[in-house]
């Protein structure tokens, strides 16, 4: 049998939680993948170790000083080191890369991810904030939607449930949510939540921002908007279901009432490997799902009174245009302030709601409109939290 050629990958956000898990998968399958490009925000030390191990041709750091530090340490001939958003975007479109892992956190990933889609790369897609803030532009940039392969566990599950199905047969998408660490905490105690408590997720180990988003349920709200763009369904067709065990990663109900679910252990390396190897599946050494040991899987409706971020995300999506852009930017600023202990946990939804109330949504026609709404919302929320 002929060997499958190795797929050349560029990893944007290689020093983060998804980025390092991506490199773990690639490390286990040297016969299947090569790394041609890597990017990071400012962690030049980890990036240096990744360069030594994976030997990319091109890397970029958002922080020019970190890029300069790396240049001083690495021999010039070994790897090309770029800086800034421009540098990261060059990695995203580098000709050698067949596939790009989009794993930068937040709005910072927008320009590189858009550029990768425009350059006709297949994009393994983790950076959900970019779809929330500019869904219209992302959908427009990827003339061929089959080139976006979801990485988010729920969206990977839905993608798998839809294999061989027609999207016109979907009645409903059921997006599962673990509910985060505060499902059973009374809301009057939300004001005293510390960053350390919010960062202790019951089922998943992830970057700080998404872990706080999971605790407010904003993560699920962002995922509703993500699902809408990825699968071309209406908002009314997407329901959220609290499922504390994080075993059923999501479900699709079809017009005939049949429901298909995707199950597995809670380990991001599984959807990451699937996105990298699609349509094939790679073997791994992870434990099998043991349903008999689990015995019980539970499902309950979300409480949007207690977790207003989920309601705000639906509202922003219904209003459309630049309102989801504003929702996302306000959330990034509020979560940042909470992590720096400048804003109580209970004020995160309130700051977002106030910012949204001050905004009149405009149609998203071009990148400038999105960037202006994003910058406006950051200013407004920053002044609210200061």
Contact 12, 41 (CB under 8 A): no
Is 127 a binding residue for ligand NAD by CB under 6 A? The answer is yes
Q: Would you say 36 or 40 has its CB closer to ligand NAD?
A: 40
Is 195 a binding residue for ligand NAD by CB under 6 A? The answer is no
The CB density around residue 214, as the number of other CB atoms within 10 Å, is 24
Residue 374 host element (H or E) = helix 367-385
The CB density around residue 312, as the number of other CB atoms within 10 Å, is 24
Which among 174, 153, 195, 146 is positioned nearest to 342, based on CA atoms?
A: 195
Q: Which window, 123-131, 283-291, 313-321, 374-382, contacts ligand NAD (CB under 6 A)?
A: 123-131
Which among 25, 28, 33 is positioned nearest to 9, based on CA atoms?
A: 33
Site for ligand NAD in 57-86 (CB under 6 A): 62
Q: Would you say 238 or 253 has its CB closer to ligand NAD?
A: 238
Contact 33, 7 (CB under 8 A): yes
Is 97 a binding residue for ligand NAD by CB under 6 A? The answer is no
Find the binder of ligand NAD among 13, 56, 180, 181 (CB under 6 A). 13
Helix (H, G, I), strand (E, B) or coil at 39: strand
Find the binder of ligand NAD among 8, 18, 67, 212 (CB under 6 A). 18
Q: Would you say 128 or 378 has its CB closer to Mg ion?
A: 128
Taking the complex as a whole, how short is the minimal distance between the CB of residue 154 and Mg ion, in angstroms? 5
Q: What does the per-residue mask of binding to Mg ion show for 129-158, with x meaning CB under 5 A? A: -----------------------xxx----
Q: How far apart are CA 373 and CA 376, in angstroms?
A: 5
Is 378 a binding residue for ligand NAD by CB under 6 A? The answer is no
Percent helix, strand, coil in the chain (nearest 5)? Answer: 50, 15, 35
Applying CB under 6 A, which residues contact ligand NAD? 13-19, 40-41, 43, 62, 88, 103-105, 108, 126-129, 152, 204, 206-207, 209-210, 268
């Amino acid at each position: 049998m002929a060997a499958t050629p190795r797929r050349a990958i560029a990893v944007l956000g290689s020093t983060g939680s998804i980025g390092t898990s991506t490199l773990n998968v690639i490390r286990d399958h040297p016969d299947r993948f090569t790394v041609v490009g890597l990017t990071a925000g400012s962690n030049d030390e980890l990036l240096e170790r990744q360069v030594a191990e994976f030997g990319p041709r091109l890397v970029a750091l958002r922080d020019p000083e970190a890029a300069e530090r790396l240049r001083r340490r690495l021999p010039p001939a070994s790897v090309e080191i770029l800086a800034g958003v421009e540098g990261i975007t060059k990695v995203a479109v580098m000709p050698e890369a067949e596939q790009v892992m989009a794993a930068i956190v937040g709005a910072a990933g927008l320009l590189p991810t858009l550029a990768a889609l425009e350059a006709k790369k297949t994009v393994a897609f983790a950076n959900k904030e970019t779809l929330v803030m500019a869904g219209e532009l992302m959908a427009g940039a990827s003339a061929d939607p089959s080139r976006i392969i979801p990485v988010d566990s729920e969206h990977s599950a839905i993608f798998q449930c839809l294999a061989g199905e027609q999207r016109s047969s979907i009645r409903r998408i059921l997006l599962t949510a673990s509910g985060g660490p505060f499902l059973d905490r009374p809301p009057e105690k939300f004001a005293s939540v510390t960053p350390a408590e919010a960062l202790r997720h019951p089922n998943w180990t992830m970057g700080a921002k998404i872990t706080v988003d999971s605790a407010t349920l904003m993560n699920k709200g962002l995922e509703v908007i993500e699902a809408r763009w990825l699968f071309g369904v209406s908002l009314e067709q997407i329901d959220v279901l609290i499922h504390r065990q994080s075993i059923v990663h999501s479900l699709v109900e079809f017009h005939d009432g049949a429901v298909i679910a995707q199950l597995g252990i809670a380990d991001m390396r599984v959807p990451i490997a699937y996105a990298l190897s699609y349509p094939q599946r790679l073997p791994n050494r992870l434990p099998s799902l043991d349903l008999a040991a689990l015995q019980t899987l539970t499902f309950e409706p979300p409480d949007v009174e207690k977790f207003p971020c989920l309601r705000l995300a639906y509202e922003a999506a219904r209003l459309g245009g630049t309102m989801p852009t504003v929702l996302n930017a306000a959330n990034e600023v509020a979560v940042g302030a909470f992590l720096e202990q400048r804003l109580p946990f209970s004020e995160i939804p309130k700051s977002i709601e106030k910012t949204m109330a001050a905004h009149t949504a405009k149609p998203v026609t071009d990148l400038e409109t999105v960037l202006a709404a994003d910058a406006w919302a950051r200013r407004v929320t920053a002044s609210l939290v200061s």
